[in-house]
Chains A and B, each alone.
Chain A
Amino acid sequence: MITIVGGELLCALGDGPERLAALRRGKPNIGTVTVDVGQVEVTYPYYRIDETSRLSDPAIVDNYLDRVVNSLLRKLKLQASDLDNVGVFLGSSSIDYSLAWPIEESVAEDFVLRCDRKRVGGGNYLESLSQRFAFSGPSLTFNTACTSSANALLAAVSMLEGEIIDFALVLGLELYSPTTLEGFAMMQLLSPEAIRPFAQNRNGIVLGEAVSAVLLSRDDIMPSAWCYLGGRSSCETFSVIGAHPSGAGIAQVIQAALADAVIGPETITAIKTHGTASDLNDQAEMRGMEQVFAALPPYLSLKPYIGHTLGGCGVAELLLLMESVDAGFIPASINCETLDCEFSSSPVTQSLFLTSGHFMLNYFGFGGNNTSFVIEKMAS
């Protein structure tokens, strides 16, 4: 059995106790960011870790990754050298932006590239992380848009189950990028006010930053109260920017995840939805869930707390859910004062007392990518 040993997260909610308090109170910390949209400056809400982040500078990215890995190791009372035979996996929708660094630098210098024939590219972050921590196992970097780090986790599970590795460090990475923000703004997918998943008045996503790390193992190597039960990823080709509004593709991947976990829908205690608050995405997700669950279990979106952290949300939202359940609750799904009148049941509007159970986590993204997996916290 695959165990989820522990995790660490940097996001707009701050550090451990502060983050937990915000989740319990239903009070996130939201900032703003101003972008140039067609030569007009527009200010959007934005969930930022701090003011230093800049995705295209590899030194800053390395610093965030080191912070989160070192903090995780301290929390688990482990040294990097204790993780013998560890694979490292990274999911980010922005791995291609590693190219941005030499290109941006060159802009200031009349397009003279300064990468000194040092290979750059999507695998760069894990290569340097592995060197700094002396991790010698395999590494893989995933870009499947908003499902990136969820798919990285599924690949880590494959390698653990195949006994290629004994530990898997799965990382999610999404930092502030002007290109990303401008792209979403140009596509009119950003809310100018707030992220309101499943609400009648939802009007778009709010982006955010997260850098996260979760350590997986097998129960014969390192037991844990948390375990991964099963999951599935699939691709639907209705549209490059989203799922079919009927929810058929989403229903299919949820059913496949349940089958892989060898449980029925009635076993699910709660669902962490993708819940982006975009009109069509929430509609497709709700319809997909309704096709699988005769009665929807309690469900929530965590994006009102940390924003949509794109490829990083797979691990970041997994850790927020685990932290909350470890503290005895699941957070309220905030900002949904009035449910979309076409939906049959509301997300949880008050935090719920919960200390164990089976949890489904859903992620959907550009490229028609749908991913769903199930984890369990065993009762003590």
Chain B
Amino acid sequence: MIYIHAVGLHNTIPDQQLPDLKSELKILSGKVYRRLDHFVELAIIGAHKAVAESEISSETAIYMTSGQGDIMVFDRVRRQRYFDKMMSKPVDFVNLSSNTAGFYVASHLGLNGKNLFLQHHHFPVQMALLLALIDITSGKERAILVGGVDEWIAKPELAKKLLGVDEVTRLGEGSNWQLLKAAAEGALGTFAIEPKALNEAQLKQLLLSAEAGTRLAFSSRFSAVQVAEIMAVNNVCKRYLYESFCAYYETLPLYILNRFLTHERGRLIHLDVSQDRYMMMSVDNGS
């Protein structure tokens, strides 16, 4: 278990147009950034919201994750290469590595600690938080800013195909961050995660020990039938409904945890599933 000291939520459901983040970034930070991609702006805004009110050590690490990374620059470079027969711009080439977003976040916040961009096929948020928990628990890192960043693109048909979601799924974008530390003092709550993927029997066994009032959040990968079966395992748990506040993006689990921490009290268990493998993590901010 580790402690959550700050959270930042940036979650939008764009309709037709890409949200204008340049002006929002300027208002938030008082700084003018030029030639930054939407993905980078998104990353900075979420991280800024998380720690704007907090004291943050310059050694704080950044573990950033994303479902698709800087997909717009990728699409742009491909189009330039294949359709326009042009060389990509240097800034676009460099930003093809999505880790450059972490560089700009570090630069914005004055950080010089470890800076990782990591991905997982189904559970990017869970794996980033797991690594953060291990590194803080072992003392390798004193503080880690964990962020999940996914951008909406004005070609939802492309994004849906790449994400493997159906045509009716509504897509959103978000940049959600947590500042994690080993120290309890001043914390908003605690974070814990089952380090290994569980099978259904293991998941149900663990849920049996959940205390009264525990809330359960289900990722959109669960079917209604699965949700009903799991809710029936322990009738002292209540469902946490977040779905009306957001649309789909890969790093949504961080938004769900952060929304709970900023709007509710108690313990939230977040459940995700892929191919009969379940990941379980929880936050607790007391009663």
Q: Which residues of A approach B to under 8 Å, CB–CB?
A: 37-39, 93, 95-97, 99-100, 102-104, 107, 113, 115, 117-124, 126-127, 136-145, 151, 155, 158-159, 161-162, 164, 178-179, 182-183, 186-187, 232-237, 240-241, 249, 252, 366-369
Q: Which of A115, A143, A178 contacts B119 (CB 8 A)?
A: A143
Is there an interface contact between B70 and A235, defined as CB atoms closer than 8 Å?
no
Contact residues in B for A183 (Cβ distance below 8 Å): 88, 90, 93-94, 96
Is there an interface contact between A119 and B164, defined as CB atoms closer than 8 Å?
yes
The answer for the CA separation of A142 and B82 in the assembled complex, in Å, is 27
Contact residues in B for A126 (Cβ distance below 8 Å): 120-121
Separation in Å of the B131 CB from the closest CB of chain A?
6
Separation in Å of the A264 CB from the closest CB of chain B?
20
Is there an interface contact between A367 and B121, defined as CB atoms closer than 8 Å?
no
The answer for the CA separation of A118 and B274 in the assembled complex, in Å, is 13
Is there an interface contact between A115 and B161, defined as CB atoms closer than 8 Å?
yes
Is there an interface contact between A136 and B162, defined as CB atoms closer than 8 Å?
no
Asked, given contacts A93-B97, A138-B195, A140-B131, whether A235 binds B115 with beta carbons under 8 Å apart, the answer is yes
A contact patch SS: mixed
Q: List 25 A-B contacts (CB under 8 A).
A: A99-B162, A103-B74, A115-B161, A117-B160, A119-B162, A121-B68, A121-B69, A121-B121, A127-B122, A143-B69, A143-B99, A143-B119, A144-B97, A158-B131, A159-B134, A162-B134, A179-B77, A179-B88, A182-B81, A186-B93, A232-B114, A233-B115, A234-B112, A366-B97, A367-B115
Asked, given contacts A143-B97, A249-B112, whether A138 binds B117 with beta carbons under 8 Å apart, the answer is no
Is there an interface contact between A237 and B103, defined as CB atoms closer than 8 Å?
yes
Separation in Å of the A230 CB from the closest CB of chain B?
10
Separation in Å of the B150 CB from the closest CB of chain A?
11
Q: A102-B162, A127-B121 are in contact. List 20 more A-B contacts (CB 8 A).
A: A39-B85, A96-B70, A96-B97, A100-B74, A115-B161, A117-B164, A119-B121, A136-B197, A139-B120, A141-B118, A143-B119, A158-B140, A162-B137, A179-B93, A187-B93, A233-B116, A234-B112, A235-B62, A237-B107, A368-B103
Contact residues in B for A142 (Cβ distance below 8 Å): 116-119
The answer for the CA separation of A241 and B97 in the assembled complex, in Å, is 11
Asked, given contacts A96-B70, A121-B67, A138-B127, whether A237 binds B78 with beta carbons under 8 Å apart, the answer is no
Is there an interface contact between A119 and B163, defined as CB atoms closer than 8 Å?
yes
Question: Nearest CB to that of A238 among chain B residues?
Answer: B107
Contact residues in A for B85 (Cβ distance below 8 Å): 39
Contact residues in A for B250 (Cβ distance below 8 Å): 121
The answer for the CA separation of A178 and B87 in the assembled complex, in Å, is 11
Contact residues in B for A141 (Cβ distance below 8 Å): 118-120
Separation in Å of the A106 CB from the closest CB of chain B?
9
Interface membership of chain B positions 49-76, coded 1 if the CB is closer than 8 angstroms to chain A and 0 otherwise: 0000000000000100001111100110
Contact residues in A for B69 (Cβ distance below 8 Å): 96, 121-122, 143
B154 at the interface (CB under 8 A from A): no
Separation in Å of the A71 CB from the closest CB of chain B?
24
Contact residues in A for B183 (Cβ distance below 8 Å): none
Is there an interface contact between A143 and B98, defined as CB atoms closer than 8 Å?
yes
Question: Nearest CB to that of A136 among chain B residues?
Answer: B197
Contact residues in A for B134 (Cβ distance below 8 Å): 158-159, 162, 164
Asked, given contacts A161-B138, A179-B77, whether A186 binds B87 with beta carbons under 8 Å apart, the answer is yes
B124 at the interface (CB under 8 A from A): yes
Asked, given contacts A96-B97, A140-B127, whether A237 binds B112 with beta carbons under 8 Å apart, the answer is yes
Is there an interface contact between B87 and A38, defined as CB atoms closer than 8 Å?
yes
The answer for the CA separation of A228 and B37 in the assembled complex, in Å, is 38
Asked, given contacts A143-B98, A235-B62, A235-B102, whether A104 binds B78 with beta carbons under 8 Å apart, the answer is yes
The answer for the CA separation of A139 and B197 in the assembled complex, in Å, is 11
Separation in Å of the B30 CB from the closest CB of chain A?
18
B196 at the interface (CB under 8 A from A): yes
Contact residues in B for A97 (Cβ distance below 8 Å): 96
Is there an interface contact between B121 and A235, defined as CB atoms closer than 8 Å?
no
The answer for the CA separation of A164 and B166 in the assembled complex, in Å, is 35
Contact residues in A for B162 (Cβ distance below 8 Å): 99, 102, 113, 115, 119-121
